[in-house]
Structure 1
Amino acid sequence: MRRVVALLTGLALLAGCSADPASPAPTAPVPDAKPVAKITADPAPAAKNVEVTKAVTVRIADGELDTVALTNPQGKQVEGEFAADRRSWHTTEDLGFGKSYSYAAKGTGTDGKPVQLAGKFTTVSPASTIRATVNPVDDAVVGVGMPISVKFDRPPADRAAAEKALAVETSPTEVEGSWAWIKPTQVDWRPKQYWPAHTKVKVSANLYGVKYGDGAYGKADVTSEFAIGRNQVVKVHTPDHEMNVYRDGAKVASYPSSNGRDADPNLNTPNGTLIVMTREPVGDFSNPRYGYTNVKKKWSVRISNHGEYIHENEENAANIGKANTSHGCVNLREDDAKAYFDSALIGDPVEITGSKAKMPRTSDVFDWLIPWSEWQAMSALR
């Protein structure tokens, strides 16, 4: 009996050391899962030669952005804004040439876990920059024949790129017009017909960062807002020996004149549509070629750089209204010259007909000498 009890006791002890078939096997600890959200940036970290007009964009997938900071080399943050859903952010100002920028972004994923991104990039360093100016300037009031001129201090190799950056807005009505490259360093915009009186004009030349080719970039944006004045047009039919002034198509003044000599085409007042370029209370008409020295005339209105003016010439009073004896200018009596001078605006058209000669395209302003179809073809975008 004692052996049986001992045997049973041993079996019981052996059973107590065996694994319970109903208990699970132990497992290793599970690490935290990676965040589901991911932040990306354009330009990417370490990008080089980034265009200064490129908007820097930060995006998050499967989450929302909490903070984004883009910092320039001076430690100032670049202006930017979030999208309404905070899934993206972009800059709202241009970058600087040849600079290094740092960005840092933080966000929260849809799983509640934080994510972040940091990086740097550098912008393009131009071989050179080209400066531009716009005329008319801000707040000017000009005549209905005034063109818009954008002038560059060096010729841009890529004219199309430059022209694409230019815009003209008019109110209260839209005015049809076109850009034309009249020089390698100058592109003008003029309407198909004279401007409507009292038009408001805004010119935007968004040229900063524009690639002109040959390593050159636009130096700065330039703008101008100006107004068109009343409609006044001067008409001179040279054989008639008179100068007529029209407002809104109605004749408002007629002045006897002596124009360029009829017999000599070199001394004609040449045919063509010009504009008032300057108004000078006293003009200097000295010209050694013709023996003129210290010749001053009052109420001088320049209409070309070819040498033509409208001005008083009391010394030629005997021929005013009777014969054409000038060397190309429109001579008026002093009182008439003063009356016209006081009425003139820069940009007023002056239409000349009846001469033997045509006005050459050598003046600073010859826009209206070019037919409309030819003018349109002078655009770099045609």
Structure 2
Amino acid sequence: MIERRTVFKAVAAVSAAALAAACSSSSNEGTATPQGAGGDKGGAPVAPVAKITATPAAGAKDADVREPVVVKVTEGKLTEVKVTNEGGDAIKGELSADGLSWTSSEPLGYGKNYTYAAKATGTDQREAEFKGSFATISPAKQMRATLNPGDDAEVGVAMPVSVKFQGGAPKDRAAVEKALKIKTSKDVEGAWGWISPTQVDWRPKEYWPANITVEVEANLYGVHLGGGVYGKSDVTTKFKVGRNQVVKIHTPDHVMKVYRGGAESASYPCSNGLDSVTDRNTPNGTFIIMSKEPHAVFDNARYGYTNVNKKWACRFSNHGEFIHENQDNAAAIGKTNNSHGCVNLLEADAKAYFDSAMIGDPVEVTGSNLGSPTSSDVKDWFYDWSSWKSLSAAK
């Protein structure tokens, strides 16, 4: 009868910001001084035939930080290209094998000025030069995002991928989703869904296949999130989905069953939320194990208890529900539902389940009079597939 405690790396993608000066420019091309006589009889010099252009164009003020700097030449080959930042450091780049272009290979900084200088030898064997500078976009604000699960985590088959934004809500949700990528070692159907203004999750249509790897890229740096706000940095993670373990509780039965790979592996007598008081029912829905605490302290002033210590507590809802030991309630376990919403187990059973449980394991509750708690911020599995897909901003 103890529960209801409220607990609970750089680049990518698509930018919604249009690069106004993204076309090539030759307005700043230098003209090589002809060597020797040449030109018409009046002695006018003949310009080198090699033409060097660059993107962003010389003088651009709002260059996209994710688009590469590209320097090209016609009627010749590039012999030298250097793009430097405000500190005079050269940014990385590579000359193509045919000598016709040079492309930068590192992202640019926000609100920075860059200078380029290039030389080429034309088909007329004369040297052409090109110089210029440009500036990158300056965001009104930069917004940071985090990813969960973290690197090298091993999680259960119901674990969603969560992208959470810090310091505000992105206005352009479609741009965010275009910047997010999921790669799995086995094909998995899934979709993104916004479960709050600051959180977008990806969940599979069905539970993840067991024992696969998942790689996630949130390529948000340089992405216009709306209202002059841009992504602060890219974030990535790689994690593993472990064995398939599912808990099933039909509350009137007073039994918690554990399934491994689809087969029943354990059955524990339990006491669930008090049937006669709907607000104290263990709510229906598919939840996930959110955290594990060998020792937990429970408080609920509404029901008149504080600082109650219980062992082997596995949280499965931010509404306040846990699976935990309650040896003090042994007389009711397996016979009567009298808790405040938690699933009470005998100590030995609670320890056995705790040792088997993994963050992200599904907990399926049926038979209750209480619906799924919308106040929980891990509610991905409360939606049927059609409803979940409707939460996406992608068109």
TM-score with structure 2 length normalisation? 0.88
2:155 alignment counterpart: 142
Structure 2 spans left out of the alignment, 5+ residues: 1-39
2:187 alignment counterpart: 174
2:355 alignment counterpart: 342
1:68 alignment counterpart: 81
- Decide which of 226, 244, 254 is 1:241's aligned counterpart: 254
Please say if residues 286 and 296 of structure 1, whose CA atoms lie closer than 8 Å, have aligned partners that are also in contact: no
1:150-179 Cα offsets, whole Å, 9 max, x none, are 0001101111111110000000x1111000
1:206 alignment counterpart: 219
1:304-350 Cα offsets, whole Å, 9 max, x none, are 01011000001110010011111111000000000000000000000
Matched position secondary structure for 1:293:
strand
Q: Is residue 2:160 matched to residue 1:160?
A: no
Q: Is residue 2:263 matched to residue 1:250?
A: yes
Distance 1:99 1:316 in 2: 65
Please say if residues 137 and 226 of structure 1, whose CA atoms lie closer than 8 Å, have aligned partners that are also in contact: yes
Please say if residues 210 and 218 of structure 1, whose CA atoms lie closer than 8 Å, have aligned partners that are also in contact: yes
Q: Is residue 2:364 matched to residue 1:351?
A: yes
2:72 alignment counterpart: 59
The share of aligned pairs that are identical, in percent, is 60
- Decide which of 207, 227, 244 is 1:194's aligned counterpart: 207
Distance 2:123 2:41 in 1: 27
**Superposed counterparts of 1:1-382, under 5 Å:** 28=41, 31-153=44-166, 154-171=168-185, 173-382=186-395
Distance 2:41 2:56 in 1: 42
Distance 2:65 2:52 in 1: 23
Distance 2:174 2:42 in 1: 65
1:228-279 Cα offsets, whole Å, 9 max, x none, are 0110000001111110000000000000000111111111111100000000
1:13 alignment counterpart: none
RMSD, aligned CA: 1.1
Aligned pair count? Answer: 355
Please say if residues 261 and 326 of structure 1, whose CA atoms lie closer than 8 Å, have aligned partners that are also in contact: yes
Q: 1:331 to 1:36 in 2, by over 3 A?
A: same
Distance 2:220 2:303 in 1: 46
- 1:30 offset after TM fit, Å? 5.2
Q: Which amino acid aligns with 2:170?
A: P
Matched position secondary structure for 1:327:
coil
- 1:34 offset after TM fit, Å? 2.2
Matched position secondary structure for 1:286:
strand
Structure 1's consecutive aligned runs of 4 or more residues displaced over 2 angstroms after TM superposition are 27-34
- 1:50 offset after TM fit, Å? 1.1
- 1:92 offset after TM fit, Å? 1.0
Distance 1:83 1:292 in 2: 72
Q: Which amino acid aligns with 1:160?
A: A
Higher relative contact order (CA 8 A, sep 6+): 2
Greater gyration radius: 1
- 1:204 offset after TM fit, Å? 0.2
Distance 1:30 1:152 in 2: 66
Q: 1:28 to 1:248 in 2, by over 3 A?
A: closer
Distance 1:246 1:255 in 2: 12
Structure 1 spans left out of the alignment, 5+ residues: 1-26
Q: 1:237 to 1:113 in 2, by over 3 A?
A: same
Matched position secondary structure for 1:295:
strand
Distance 1:351 1:166 in 2: 29
Matched position secondary structure for 1:239:
helix
1:16 alignment counterpart: none
Q: Which amino acid aligns with 1:322?
A: K
Distance 1:79 1:361 in 2: 49
- 1:31 offset after TM fit, Å? 4.8
Distance 1:105 1:33 in 2: 20
Distance 2:310 2:47 in 1: 87
